[in-house]
Amino acid sequence: MKTALTGKHIIGGKDRGAGGKFRGMDPAAGAALGTAFCEAGVTEVNRALELADKAFDVLQTVPVKKIAALLERIADGLEAGGDRIIARAHLETALPVERLRSELGRTAGQALAFAALAGGSWAQARIDHALPGRKPLPKPDIRTIFMGVGPVVVFGASNFPLAISVAGTDTVAAFAARCPVVAKGHPAHPGTCELVARVITEAIAWAKLPPGMFSLLQSSGYEAGLALVKHPLTAAVAFTGSLKGGRALFDAAAARPAPIPVYAEMGSVNPVFILPGAAAARAEEIAFGFVRSLNTGVGQFCTNPGMVLAVGGPAFEKFLAAVCKNASCVPPAAMLHAGIQSAYDRGTARLSSIPGVKLAGTGAACATRPKTASCKIFIADAGLFLRRPELSEEVFGPATIIYRCKNTAQMLAIARGMQGSLTATIHGTERELLKNGGLVRVLQRKAGRIVFNGFPTGLEPCASLHHGGPYPATTHSFFTSVGTAAIYRYVRPVCFQNFPDSALPEELREANPRRLRRLVDAKLI
């Protein structure tokens, strides 16, 4: 890895660009950091995607062992360069070093998980043999597998500078599907993006794979991102960020002469439902866990619990008092960048201005740190939620609204009126959970992951995890952005009819040289 940041784009293994235009910022100090970064334009976008398109053809014939070795090498490179990557990420995001160290481990672990997956099980080979003597018509030989879609554009997320960024799930999932990647670095942490991109570039060179399979473009504005989405060689797009940004990319992709999918993860309020039995038995315990979840990462998790619903009464008041008490002990902290801080300030001011919404508690005061976010606990009667549609909008940061419900019937009515979320949480006894099956069924339509007696922050990347949800949480609720199932964002089924065995992909050949489990004549063998 190069010892100094260059501020240049990395396009097909080569540094490109001159004359830096923007810098990373230290959000804790509000000061610009060293190294100016280049702005990508049409020339860089065209070059990166042309190289990616050529690389895609080559990758289709690369042995799977080589793809797996590449991903393992990326994991090794992240760990070897971890101290330097973490130090820069800490400067650019103000995230704690230990949090970043954990995230780096998750990022390397994701690469290893997709290395194991690269063997081909994800391809889901299906074979139906020919029946030439079938009457009244012969049956042809039909075989189908999933195959990569082509060049993928990945937008780095602001809140996960490692795990959902340049070498995050989307990039390693695309590589496992033999798709090249053009990454758009996040302007809030460009130095981190460059350091991680060099790990990938060096791993590609080590594996002797086409250098065009990866490029990093830097930009502080929207033009380069839109150009990447609109480019005719782009086959799919991954984005994690605001509803406004994700929707703009989604609309641009849909307006293309040949529309492409944009897998955008956007706004989510992640409701928490506290049933009466749980409130009566565990009000203070739930309050403690809730405040901790709300303030994890200064509330800058996409699964941050932005609203709570509980039935009014003594248990409700006990819960509210405990939440406010715990919140008062939380110190203010710097957010990821000035844009997020400004949006949080506007969002909490908007909530304060709505008649019927009251500020019930705040985090600890700190007059010496004005450019920070403080936890804010609002309270309102549940009926207000259905009368004021703006209460459905996410406020990104450590703020929440606790709604006082008349009864569980009103709680169910509120659930029916909610927009889609990444998560929904229920606290209750097992008996209550069974009794409130209607609530569970509603939430199955409203969220991608339903949590029982826990909290939504914190993800376990694995094959079973689904991190997605109905709009506006994502643009397509079928797909996950975390876990190995993310590979299905970047593949599509291709059917081969009456092909000679020698011309088929290995996964579909009669001898099954890859020793995969396949669906053959409707039997999994």
HEC string for 454-507:
CCCCCCCCCCCCCCCCCCCCECCCCCCCCCHHHHHHCEEEEEEECCCHHHCCHH
The Cα–Cα gap between 269 and 266 comes to: 10
Sign of the C-alpha dihedral, residues 413, 417, 420, 425?
Answer: negative
The Cα–Cα gap between 79 and 14 comes to: 23
- Does 3.40.309.10 match the CATH number of domain 271-452? yes
The Cα–Cα gap between 325 and 290 comes to: 12
Prediction pTM value = 0.95
**113 and 99 in contact (C-beta within 8 Å)?**
no
pLDDT of residue 215: 98
Burial of residue 118, with CB atoms counted within 10 A of its CB: 0-12 exposed, 13-18 middle, 19 or more buried: buried
Residues 6+ apart with CB under 8 A from 522: 128
CATH superfamily, domain 39-266+478-489, is Aldehyde Dehydrogenase; Chain A, domain 1 (3.40.605.10)
Q: What count of other Cβ atoms lies within 10 Å of the Cβ of residue 210?
A: 20
pLDDT of residue 368: 57
Task: Based on DSSP, count helices (H) and strands (E) in the chain, helices before strands.
Answer: 15, 21
37 backbone dihedrals φ, ψ, rounded to 5°: -110, 145
pLDDT of residue 13: 97
pLDDT of residue 370: 62
Sign of the C-alpha dihedral, residues 288, 290, 293, 295?
Answer: negative
310 backbone dihedrals φ, ψ, rounded to 5°: -150, 155
Active-site residue set = 265, 302
**258 and 236 in contact (C-beta within 8 Å)?**
no
Q: What is the DSSP letter of 333?
A: B
pLDDT of residue 120: 80
Helix axes 190-207, 64-80, angle to 10 degrees: 140
71, 409, 513 from 58: Cα distances, Å: 17, 59, 21
Question: pLDDT tens per residue, the chain (525 residues)?
Answer: 666 899 999 999 999 998 889 999 999 999 999 899 999 999 999 999 999 999 999 999 999 999 999 999 999 999 999 999 999 999 999 999 999 999 999 999 999 999 999 888 899 999 999 999 999 999 999 999 999 999 999 999 999 999 999 999 999 999 999 999 999 999 999 999 999 999 999 999 999 999 999 999 999 999 999 999 999 999 999 999 999 999 999 999 999 999 999 999 999 999 999 999 999 999 999 999 999 999 999 999 999 999 999 999 999 999 999 999 999 999 999 999 999 999 999 999 999 999 999 999 999 976 556 689 999 999 999 999 999 999 999 999 999 999 999 999 999 999 999 999 999 999 999 999 999 999 999 999 999 999 999 999 989 999 999 999 999 999 999 999 999 999 999 999 999 999 999 999 999 999 999 999 999 999 999
Domain ranges of the chain: 39-266+478-489, 271-452
End-to-end CA distance of the chain: 45
**273 and 411 in contact (C-beta within 8 Å)?**
yes
Rounded to 5°, the CA angle 523-524-525 comes to 105
pLDDT of residue 19: 85
**24 and 7 in contact (C-beta within 8 Å)?**
no
The tokens describing 185, both together, are 């670095």
The Cα–Cα gap between 336 and 25 comes to: 10
Rounded to 5°, the CA angle 292-336-489 comes to 85
The Cα–Cα gap between 117 and 299 comes to: 33
For residue 179, the SS3 value is coil
- Burial track 447-474 (b if 16+ CB lie within 10 A, e otherwise): bbbbbeeebbbebebeeebbbbbbbbbb
Sign of the C-alpha dihedral, residues 408, 411, 416, 422?
Answer: negative
Which among 429, 404, 376 is positioned nearest to 318, based on CA atoms? 404
pLDDT of residue 18: 86
**312 and 276 in contact (C-beta within 8 Å)?**
no
Which among 177, 209, 214, 215 is positioned nearest to 66, based on CA atoms? 209
138 backbone dihedrals φ, ψ, rounded to 5°: -70, 150
**254 and 398 in contact (C-beta within 8 Å)?**
no
The Cα–Cα gap between 287 and 276 comes to: 14
For residue 453, the SS3 value is coil
Rounded to 5°, the CA angle 479-481-487 comes to 70
The Cα–Cα gap between 273 and 293 comes to: 15
